[in-house]
């Protein structure tokens, strides 16, 4: 059992015993001490589990956004944390991203950069909170932000509002501006290469995707664009893609500009992509619908990426391991 699973059992068991005794009037110093030890054990195990995220034996992606779909079917709060080579990269900073990571005790002082698939408010709402969490624990007071061309204007506005110069302190914008099917490397080091890429449709709409290659394993993050059609998405071990089930769009309003699940499934097969993880489902029902539609479209290896899901690609084999963090 992984450290998080073990600590959770210890914590829940001891907490249940203590609080059960408290309810029935049998609260004692021994019970209080037991609960204190449970909290300490839980914190220690969680800290160790989070530290294990940064070992160099795997490429990992954590669904960290507060992905909740509102009554109109469109309230998405995207955020993915990709961890490799001892570093963490955040793809899209949706509302609640910093809080979700802090609650899981993810050390944001290791945050290398934020990568935006779009410069829209949905993808950038929590940039200021992420910066505050990252900058408080390190000497470097700059946080690089990569994204489409509009990222420059977005970052300048946020720096001005916060009183940062963007040179010694604040957000630092980088707009790689890839041409369709011509990737641009935005980070390279210690066996990790991150490339930004786009398609003709996404370039027109101001959207980009990112490919993470780490010592033979690969993850592609598509956001809500159509990047699964790009050459850079071919042969990826995992494709993470925001999508809304057709059944939900029929209940609410027409879906946004992204591809449908059936289209993603067809294009993922054509690109020889491995596991496809659909994000953006705010409820268990929505997640179930995602998988049903994917399988109906002939995509057998599909997952619904709920908040807290960790996708792990070991370097020692070709497995794709999925668990909750």
Q: What is the pLDDT of residues 60-70, one digit of tens each?
A: 999 987 545 44
pLDDT in tens, 251-302: 444 445 567 888 888 888 888 889 999 887 777 888 888 888 888 888 889 8
CA 197 to each of CA 138, 207, 274, 320: distance values in angstroms, whole numbers, following the listed order: 30, 9, 19, 24
Q: At what angle do helices 29-52 and 3-23 cross, to 10 degrees?
A: 160
Per-residue tokens: 153: 């204007």
What's phi and psi for 189, nearest 5 deg? Answer: 170, 145
Predicted pLDDT of residue 286:
81
Contacts with 95 (C-beta within 8 Å, 6 or more apart), sequence order: 66, 77, 125, 126
The rounded distance, in Å, linking the Cα atoms of 174 and 92 is 14
Average pLDDT over residues 157-183: 91
Pairwise CA distance, residues 96 & 94, whole Å: 6
**pLDDT tens digits, 302-313:** 888 888 899 999
Query: Do residues 215 and 227 make contact, with C-beta atoms less than 8 angstroms apart?
Result: no
What is the CB neighbour count within 10 angstroms for residue 181?
A: 14
Angle CA 104–110–111, to nearest 5: 85
Alpha carbon separation from 29 to 13, 20, 33, 44, 184 (Å, rounded): 18, 15, 6, 22, 61
CB 248 within 8 A of CB 73: yes
- Entry pTM: 0.81
pLDDT above 90: residue 225: no
Phi/psi at 25 (5° precision):
80, 20
- Nearest Cα neighbor of 105 from 39, 48, 40 is 48
pLDDT at residue 22 tops 60: no
Q: How many CB atoms lie within 10 A of CB 88?
A: 23
* pLDDT tens-digit map of 121-141: 989 999 999 999 998 878 889
């Amino acid at each position: 059992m992984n450290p998080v699973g073990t600590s959770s059992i210890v914590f829940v068991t001891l907490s249940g015993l203590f609080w059960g005794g408290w309810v029935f009037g049998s609260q004692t110093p021994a019970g209080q001490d037991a609960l204190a030890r449970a909290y300490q054990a839980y914190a220690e195990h969680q800290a160790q589990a989070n530290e294990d995220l940064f070992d160099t034996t795997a490429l990992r992606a954590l669904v960290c956004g507060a992905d909740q779909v509102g009554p109109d079917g469109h309230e998405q709060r995207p955020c993915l944390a990709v961890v490799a080579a001892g570093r963490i990269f955040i793809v899209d900073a949706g509302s609640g991203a910093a809080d979700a990571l802090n609650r899981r005790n993810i050390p944001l002082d290791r945050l290398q950069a934020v990568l935006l698939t779009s410069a829209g408010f949905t993808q950038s709402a929590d940039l200021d909170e992420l910066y505050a969490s990252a900058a408080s624990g390190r000497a470097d007071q700059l946080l690089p932000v990569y994204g489409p061309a509009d990222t420059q204007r977005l970052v300048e506005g946020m720096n001005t509002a916060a009183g940062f110069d963007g040179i010694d302190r604040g957000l630092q914008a980088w707009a790689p501006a890839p041409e369709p099917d011509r990737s641009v490397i935005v980070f390279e080091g210690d066996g990790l290469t991150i490339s930004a890429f786009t398609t003709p449709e996404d370039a027109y709409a101001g959207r980009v995707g990112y490919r993470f290659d780490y010592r033979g394993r690969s993850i592609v993050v598509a956001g809500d664009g159509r990047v699964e059609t790009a050459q850079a998405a071919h042969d990826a071990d995992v494709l993470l893609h925001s999508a809304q089930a057709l059944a939900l769009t029929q209940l609410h309003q027409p879906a946004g500009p992204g591809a449908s699940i059936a289209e993603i499934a067809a294009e993922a097969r054509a690109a020889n992509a491995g596991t496809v993880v659909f994000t953006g489902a705010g409820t268990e029902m929505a997640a179930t619908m995602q998988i049903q539609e994917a399988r109906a479209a002939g995509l057998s290896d599909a997952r619904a990426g709920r908040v807290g899901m960790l996708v792990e690609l070991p370097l020692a084999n070709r497995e794709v391991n999925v668990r909750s963090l």
